[in-house]
Chain A
Amino acid sequence: MVTRNPVTWLGSPKFPDAARTALADTQLRSNLRKATGTIRGRRASAVGEMTDWEELRLAGQALKDEVLTNLDVYLERLEKSVTERGGVVHWARDAAEANEIVLRLVRETGADEVVKVKSMATAEIGLNEALEAGGVTAIETDLAELIVQLGNDRPSHILVPAIHRNRSEIREIFQREMPDVPEGLTDEPRVLAEAARAHLRRKFLSARVAVSGANFAVADTGSIVVLESEGNGRMCLTLPETLITVMGIEKLVPTWADLEVFLQLLPRSSTAERMNPYTSVWTGVTPGDGPQAFHLVLLDNGRTATLADTVGRQALRCIRCSACLNVCPVYERTGGESYGSVYPGPIGAILTPQLVDDPHDKQAASLPFASSLCGACYEVCPVRINIPEVLTHLRASSVTARGRTPESIAMSAAAWVFSSPSRYERAQKLASFARLLGRNGRITRLPGPGAAWTSSRDAPVPPKQSFRAWWKENRG
């Protein structure tokens, strides 16, 4: 049975419609403008102080490409090294398989509650909902992820899923949803963090199972790496008896030494820090220290299909830093929820449709068009994913899948006109008649598809004489 890939949220409108709603949300616009503006500036200075940033980007790209080219080899190497160190490796073709594996593993421990480290892979497969349906409560321990979970909200950013919320909204969510909310909670960030800390501490101490994702996995050694800022991840990764890690199959690096590159690229691109506060690394099971059972679930969920696309596969280099979101002028205004997926922004616009792998899915197919192709994303990407290139590539796939449309007919007609200078010249003369629509040097209303232009912009009044006609008359 083919099940729906939960990487997109069921019932999400196409991007232009979702964006229209988001653009009218005053609070969202203000929160995002402030948050992305701040992080953009910080990233620029954190990156600016590096003299070898471009070399690091090239190295990051090369390492990821090496892994993607020989993924089968590295995955088997990882499986071997994890197994040798006492871990158990599971393979999941899709979200449903991964969710089943995790639920079964949790049930085998007898636990009905798991603590979670912030993870994109588990968000992608809708693990929390699947566990809930199986009678297991998943508790998000990352502060922003907790805010989203308590608020029954959707994540809107890869790194800061609650970026669309400001501190007074967070205070309201805590007061409404946190059972043990302290008296007199204010919207001071320190006070809010303290409330979350107290709420979570009890969970850390009682939980027997933790679920995490992974930033990197070292094929040679079997080591798994998680980077975080809050220390909640360290708690989850060390206190419970059982640790289950769900990881996309593309998260590999060949050797331990390769981490050098990514541990520089990721924090500066992501949180604009020289180094993130907590980097946790574990290798299988260490007797008497930390979790005594370790399971690694390797998730495909559309990645192998993505790998088959020679242009689109570069999206699998992504290290989930979210720098492209923070610089994107579209994301800054529409927010993450408009993309209808856990992967929003420029990377979401190229990754989501590929993971969905259904060119007839209208919502996913609208995502590659959610860009002005300004190229700011490509400029900041630490692994040099040419996002504009993939966007136009995916646009072409979507056009092919749609077949004959009014747009495709118009595009063929335009190409037919442009392919002959004499037809082009006649079309110019025809277009010149649009000057009759002009009043006082402007056209305020165009018919047909042009109406989308004149809804907010005047159109130029075409001149009587094109340049070509002038040239022929004066120079020809």
Chain B
Amino acid sequence: MQKAVVESPKVALFATCVTDTLYPATARAVVTLLERLGCSVEFPLDQTCCGQMHFNTGYPDHARGLAGSYERTFAGYDAVIAPSGSCTGMVRDIHPQLGTTPAPTYELSEFLVDVLGVTDVGAYFPHRVTYHPTCHSLRMLGVGDKPLSLLRAVRGLDLVALPDAESCCGFGGTFALKNADTSTAMLSDKMRHVLDTGSEVLTAGDNSCLMHIGGGLSRLRTGVRTVHLAEILASTEEDPWSPATR
């Protein structure tokens, strides 16, 4: 394990509403991981949602209110870390357009690689894994191969490249409901590529996209699991990830 270049930075976790409510294991994994790397993690209890659903569905006024709450909740923190590329993109790109000045907010892999300067986080995950670069982490944030460099350093992990990886999975927030048929057609191609890799686990930096792809993989009883990147990086030989801990 590499040591973080910054000494015990004080950071806030923005869990995001999807992860907080539906995937608490991911948020616990972020805490475990960051503390293992020497960070002191706080979770301001005033946080709720970044407003992305409202903004992207055509309700910018509601989103503006939530952007204001975000600004107040995290004011004064040097760094806010979110286990989501799309929520981070919303905060960083859209909140300023809505007239707020949010605290510096990072997607998890950006924070690890750019701020802490680590790629080997001491993780252990003995499974065959493929990685889907979610659209907003790829195109809004430009995280590039940071998640892949983190995954490559995980002990026991067999990383398989996902064909046509940069194609959208078809989630798109309310798009998945408003254009459910088109969303499903996109999903079927994404699932085909995932299955072609022979992976046990599909990982990504966004639980919302994983909820969509995982929902399809589960519906078809493919046996492939979706696991957020944070949970893989938090897993160690002493305390390995298991489905039961989710």
| B100 CB within 8 Å of chain A | no
| Residue among A20, A396, A431 with most chain B CB within 10 A | A396
| Residue among A333, A379, A457 with most chain B CB within 10 A | A457
| A16 CB within 8 Å of chain B | yes
The answer, among A392, A455, A463, A468, for a CB contact under 8 Å with B55, is: A392
Question: Count of B residues near A, CB < 8 Å?
Answer: 62
| A287 CB within 8 Å of chain B | no
- Contact between A472 and B45 (Cβ–Cβ < 8 Å)? yes
| A54 CB within 8 Å of chain B | no
| A374 CB within 8 Å of chain B | yes
- Contact between A396 and B60 (Cβ–Cβ < 8 Å)? yes
- Contact between B136 and A375 (Cβ–Cβ < 8 Å)? yes
| Residue among A333, A334, A428, A431 with most chain B CB within 10 A | A333
- Contact between A395 and B66 (Cβ–Cβ < 8 Å)? no
Q: Nearest chain-B residue to A398 (Cβ)?
A: B58
In the assembled complex, the Cα of A466 lies from the Cα of B19 at a distance in Å of 9
Q: Mark B45-76, 1 if CB is under 8 A from A, else 0.
A: 11111010111111110100110010000000
Query: What distance in Å separates the Cβ of A400 from its nearest Cβ neighbour in chain B?
Result: 8
In the assembled complex, the Cα of A468 lies from the Cα of B212 at a distance in Å of 23
| A15 CB within 8 Å of chain B | yes
| B173 CB within 8 Å of chain A | yes
Interface of A is mostly: helix
- Contact between A457 and B187 (Cβ–Cβ < 8 Å)? yes
Q: Nearest chain-B residue to A399 (Cβ)?
A: B58
- Contact between B177 and A372 (Cβ–Cβ < 8 Å)? no
| A371 CB within 8 Å of chain B | yes
| A456 CB within 8 Å of chain B | yes
In the assembled complex, the Cα of A470 lies from the Cα of B180 at a distance in Å of 34
| Residue among A371, A379, A419, A467 with most chain B CB within 10 A | A467
- Contact between B216 and A456 (Cβ–Cβ < 8 Å)? yes
- Contact between B135 and A467 (Cβ–Cβ < 8 Å)? no
What residues on A are CB-neighbors of B62 within 8 Å?
411-412, 414-415
- Contact between A453 and B28 (Cβ–Cβ < 8 Å)? no
Which residues, 440 to 476 on A, are CB-close (under 8 Å) to B?
442, 444, 449, 452-453, 455-460, 462-463, 465-468, 470-472, 475-476
What residues on A are CB-neighbors of B219 within 8 Å?
442, 444, 456-458
A interface, CB within 8 angstroms of B? 15-16, 19-20, 23, 329-330, 333-334, 369-376, 378-379, 392, 395-400, 407-408, 411-412, 414-415, 417-421, 424, 428, 431, 442, 444, 449, 452-453, 455-460, 462-463, 465-468, 470-472, 475-476
A-B CB contact pairs (8 Å), 7 listed: A16-B182, A20-B181, A374-B139, A392-B60, A396-B60, A424-B17, A460-B211
5 additional contacts (CB under 8 A) given A414-B54, A442-B219, A452-B178: A375-B135, A399-B57, A418-B69, A457-B216, A463-B246
